[in-house]
Amino acid sequence: MSKFGNTIGILVPQPGAPGPVSTLSANPPEPLQTKTGPIEKIEMVTDVASDAISLVAPDSAAEGAADAVSLALSLAAMVPGKPGPIPPAHTGSLKLSGGGIGMGFDGGFVDRGRGSGSGRASKKPKGRANEKKECKTCKNGSSKGKPVNPVLGIKILPQETDFTLDSLLPLVWRRSYYSDQYGNGWLGQGWSLPFSMRLERTADGFLYIDEQGREIQLPDADGFDDGGEGEEDDGVFAVGADEEDADPYGLAGCWFDPSEQIFFGRVSDGLYQIAAPDGSAKLYFSAVAGHSLYPLVAILDRNGNHTRIVYGDNGLPQEVIDAAGRRVTLNFVSIRLDEAADDFDPASEDGVFRGEDGNLYVNRLGAASLAGREMVRYHYDGRGDLTAVYGRGGKKLRGFAYRNHIMIEHSQPEGLVSRYRYDTYDTGGKVLCNTTNTGEEWTFDYREDHTLVTDVLGRCETFGFDGNYELSYYIDAEGNRSDTERDDDGWITGQTDPLGRETRYGYNRYGQLESTDYPDGSCDEM
């Protein structure tokens, strides 16, 4: 958990007035072809999402025009900052549980559990009373170089926007890369898009895999009696809101996670939601083709404006329908894997399948189009790694190189080239050195509770961190030290600047800022 954002962290620009939408913009997608033939759409997923949306959004166009929309499932504007609306009335609390390491989703094929079964077993003990929910570190919390997270040691590219469609609920097509995650398969290992968030059923609940590849344990929303009372623990269960004004966002009966600032609950059979406490955003997840994987099927704001994702029967998305009704067609391509390389075993790759020609393939997103016009196009190598991004008009925007699926270089045409050297070239590897074609260089020395970062001029900075790998202190190249204190949920409770001036922050039980005590003795109460 970090002051820079919570588990979802979808931050989109404030929308302008929606532009005119041509009647030809709802371009029907071409049937998805794979080596085994055309893929049909799953109307079940669309129907489930549509039914749920119709319940929460009977007619909200006027309200949406008056209220600017932000999918801000983040407290970046609140810590420190202003408090959001108080969540609905809560009585009782229960423990969030789940378990294990995320399976990942590559190429749309899910082969580790189907249907509504229990899913994979949790690696955590089943006893809940004494468990402590692990605080998940925000991977974008600290950065150095071009950029590298000096606390986690991972290469990150947190926000690379390929295109934006303005509407009451803007569609921002933004890529993110984290070297420690497998990704969801749309763009290859390490990459994710805003629509790649997903739930995976486990033996005792769910795992929520967010856009950073972090795995958040969630309870079994199907197995709880709304009338029950639970023990006081890490998660809070919302019950007792029997009037509309007491539960304005429809979150009664949902679990609340104070570390991540999210509510989780079941909307209807097979449909689940993750929501912001202030109702600014809801994410709907539904099973595809009977799998234990629940991909994102819809994003809603508090006014009912929504974006929908339609899937094929192999789990691959076929189109994204934005809040203005425009259809972004997704064209997946089958990448033939290089079976000749000595250091590459294509048969072991996630999502691999054998085509009718006997060769091995993986599916990747080749392009996203609107009304027959390519908005962005992606190119891959023989190992299924993303090597180039092309914008509208075919202009190359970005280039990438990899070793064992780990990014070792990214570049801009006739511009910056940044290279990376790791201790090991796998998802557990840490960046040791970052250099650029302009002569910049950063070396990273990882210690037990801090990291030393030295630039090409020999200037050294220190990034200290706690047991949750959250930044706890920083010492700049001139020796000035700043300290940060956090509570058990990861929220910042105190900050001390290099002059020793201390600022304290207080929160309510829902993680919302209530008070700020300044070094001069003044206090702001929300």
pLDDT tens profile 88-135: 333 322 222 222 222 222 223 222 222 333 333 333 323 233 344 566
Question: Average pLDDT of 278-297?
Answer: 85
Average pLDDT over residues 453-475: 97
**What percent of the chain is predicted at pLDDT more than 70?**
69
Of the candidate ranges 195-199, 389-393, 452-456, the one whose mean pLDDT is the lowest: 195-199
Report the chain's mean pLDDT, rounded to a whole number. Answer: 75
The three-point CA angle 293-51-86 to 5° equals 80
pLDDT reading at 363 higher than 60: yes
Spell out a b/e string for 164-175, using b for 16 or more CB atoms within 10 Å of the CB, else e.
ebbbbbbbbbbb
User: In Å, how far from its chain's centre is CA 515?
Assistant: 29
Residue 422 clears pLDDT 70, i.e. is over it: yes
Joined together, the tokens standing for residue 237 give 């269960």
Q: Residue 480 corresponds to which tokens in the numbers above? A: 């000035």
CB 182 within 8 A of CB 349: no
Predicted local confidence at residue 245, as pLDDT:
55
pLDDT of 434 = 99
Distance CA 466, CA 158 (A): 23
Q: So what's the pLDDT on residue 290?
A: 60
Query: What backbone phi and psi angles, to 5 degrees, belong to 257?
Result: -110, 110
The better pLDDT of the pair 480, 34 is held by 480
pLDDT band at 52 (very low <50, low <70, confident <90, very high): very low
- For the record, the structure tokens of 145 come out as 């170089």
pLDDT level of residue 526 (50, 70, 90 thresholds): confident
Specify the amino acid at residue 125.
P
pLDDT at 488 over 60: yes
β-strand pairing of 327-336 with 32-34: unpaired
The continuous run of DSSP H or E covering 422 comes out as: strand 417-422
**pLDDT at residue number 249:** 78
Rounded to whole angstroms, the Cα distance separating 82 from 260 reads 18
- In the block, tokens 């196009």 appear at 377
How far apart (Å, rounded) are the C-alpha atoms in residues 469 and 463? 10
Range of lowest pLDDT (9-23, 30-44, 314-328, 358-372): 9-23
CB 90 within 8 A of CB 336: no
pLDDT digits (tens, 9 = 90+) for 215-248: 899 999 876 544 444 444 455 555 444 445 567 7
Q: Give the separation between CA 42 and CA 268, rounded to whole angstroms.
A: 18
Mean pLDDT over 493-513 rounds to 92
- The mean pLDDT of 383-405, rounded to a whole number, is 96
Q: Mean pLDDT lowest for which of 287-301, 353-367, 439-453?
A: 287-301
